[in-house]
Amino acid sequence: MSVAAALAAGHLVAGFVEPFASPFLAVGNTAIDLTPHPVKDFAIRTFGEDDKPVLLGGMAVVITLVAVAAGLLSRRSAVPGAVVAALLGVLAFAAVLARPSVGSAGLLAPVASLLVGVGVFWWLHSLARRARGARTPIQDSAPGSTPEGASTRTVDWDVPGLGRRRFLVTSTAVAAGAGVAAAAGQLFTGRVDVEASRRSIRLSPDSLAPPIPAGADFAGDGTPGFITSNADFYRVDTALSVPRLRAQDWRMRIHGMVDRELVLTYDDLIGRPLVEKTITLCCVSNEVGGPYVSTTNFIGVSLRDLLLEAGVRPGSDQLATRSVDGWTCGTPVEAIMDPNSDALLAVGMNGEPLPVEHGFPVRMVVPGLYGFVSATKWLVDAELTTFEAFDPYWVRRGWAQRAPIKTMSRVDRPKGFEEVPVGRFVAAGIAWAQHTGVDKVEVRLDEGPWQQAELSTEVNIDTWRMWRVELDLPPGSHTIQCRATDRSGYTQTDERAEPIPDGASGWQSIVFTAQA
């Protein structure tokens, strides 16, 4: 009970001072940062976008078990329980301290947790002891005689007594209070009305992306629609609580190896020429055949123009960017300065301001590079530096410094183990080779000859392209495979690689059955 009160108190105080200082979330975030990569990968694979609720739920279970164990240990003396409450408090303090984005006011939250935890525990414990050990004098001697003369009996747990009732009432009240405090903390965390800030923004790009031509997808044959809706766009990040940054509070500094530092406000940014570009974004954690690839119309400002204005000093080869929650990313300067690159500081997706979980108010996008080296969400800082001098978040955890998206293709129809009718069957899927362009996709059935698939109308070389092919299926079990060739003449390798360090490779194989 006291641990719940402690966490709730911390969450409440954090709600007031700094959302990222919530001890519960800080422990969760630190757990994410310290998780060895294979485990994190497993979590993303197994739980997909539910990985965060699963983590928080798991933490709640572990904390409850620790609290129950401490309670059992404390039946005789308050010391073990108080020590556990204090240790949890110190752990929370350390976790909050380890968050790169929490200011000193934020430290109030775990301190509140620690004090409330130990205090409430001590208080409830003394009530419980009084309840159990209450000595009821039995009036077998005259009133006024000395207590030593009175025989006593102990009121046990199973004897309803005033003390016990008081203990139960008090701990129930503490539980209810903890619930209210946690809810209030959640409410105050949400007090920064980021949705109102989003709603007040109207983006009118100076140049629109060309309309998506009919024939850009084969959705009727099982591919995704060409443009992914904002709600369906894949989401990958390390943020347990989505950062809430209002556009009017947003500032970004471009500094480091530059001739002139720039500080931008949101109004400065959207006052510049706004362009709309259709771009396919992809995550390095995407397995062969995986879902972490989506396409949208990003609206933003040319990052190249901004860097030209700041003046990149010779020798700087990495742009290190940082999000408001402390995540970092390193992007090759040459990929941004390439005159054909559509590297953006993006403010919108599909005509709307960025959804909060996709980086509102401002994120980065560089076509052709995996998201972890290019797509910083909730962006607040950009420093021109070198690959030699700075390792960002994922590089410190064993991932590649440079990570261009690998030429890849995926089968969307048939699904694995699907049963389809024999005879004429249209298989379909997608392929991507951002910034190079897809030249052809080939498909083979049961390791037979490669057959060239029909490609959808190309939108631009930074987006995915759909394919479909007509097959004649004999009855029985089949395997279908696909491979893409890009405009550089490179054909997707069949060599299998794990996502770490620089992206998965290999041909997808789908096993399915044709039935008469």
Binder to ligand MTE among 82, 127, 375, 380 (CB under 6 A)?
375
Site string for ligand MTE, 139-178 (x = CB under 6 A): ----------------------------------------
Spatial CA neighbour of 365 closest among 346, 382, 352, 378: 346
Q: Pick what 453 binds: Mo ion, ligand MTE, none; C-beta below 5 to 8 Å, kind-dependent.
A: none
> Which residue lies nearest Mo ion, judged by its C-beta?
283
Can residue 33 be called a binding residue for ligand MTE (CB under 6 A)?
no
If binding is defined by CB under 6 A, does position 52 make contact with ligand MTE?
A: no
Q: Which is nearer to ligand MTE, 257 or 329 (CB)?
A: 329
Q: How far is the CB of 90 from ligand MTE (least distance, A)?
A: 28
Window 197 to 256, contacts with ligand MTE (CB under 6 A): 233-239
CB 489 within 8 A of CB 464: no
15 counts as binding ligand MTE under rule CB under 6 A: no
Question: Which amino acid, one-letter code, is at 291?
Answer: P
Quick note: the x/- pattern for ligand MTE over 289-328, rule CB under 6 A, is ----------------------------------x---x-
Among 23, 367, 371, 503, binds Mo ion (CB under 5 A): 371
Can you tell me the distance from the alpha carbon of 290 to that of 68, in angstroms, rounded to the nearest whole number? 41
Close Cβ partners of 118 (under 8 Å, ≥ 6 residues apart): 2, 82, 85, 86, 89
Taking CB under 6 A as the rule, does residue 360 contact ligand MTE? no
- Give the whole-angstrom CA distance, residue 391 versus residue 397: 9
Cα–Cα distance measured from residue 17 to residue 29, given in angstroms and rounded to the nearest whole number = 18
State the Rg of the chain over Cα: 30
Question: 278 and 296 in contact (C-beta within 8 Å)?
Answer: yes
> What are the E-state strand segments in 57-197?
135-137, 152-154
Tell me the backbone φ, ψ of residue 124, rounded to 5 degrees. Answer: -65, -35
Q: In terms of CB distance, is 38 or 475 closer to ligand MTE? A: 38
For ligand MTE, which is the closer residue by CB, 174 or 236? 236
Q: Judged by CB under 5 A, which of 194, 283, 299, 480 binds Mo ion?
A: 283
Pick from ligand MTE, Mo ion, none: which does 442 bind, CB < 5 to 8 A by kind? none
Cα separation, 348 vs 39, in Å, equals 33
Distance CA 64, CA 78 (A): 18
Residue 238 or 460 with smaller CB distance to ligand MTE: 238
CB 74 within 8 A of CB 83: no
Nearest to ligand MTE of 10, 499 (CB atom): 499
Looking up tokens 């497993």, which residue turns up?
42
Looking at the Cβ atoms of 166 and 235, the one nearer to ligand MTE is: 235
In 3D space, the residue among 386, 393, 388 whose CA is nearest the CA of residue 284 turns out to be 393
Please report, as ranges, the residues that interact with ligand MTE according to CB under 6 A. 233-239, 281, 283, 323, 327, 358, 371-372, 375-378
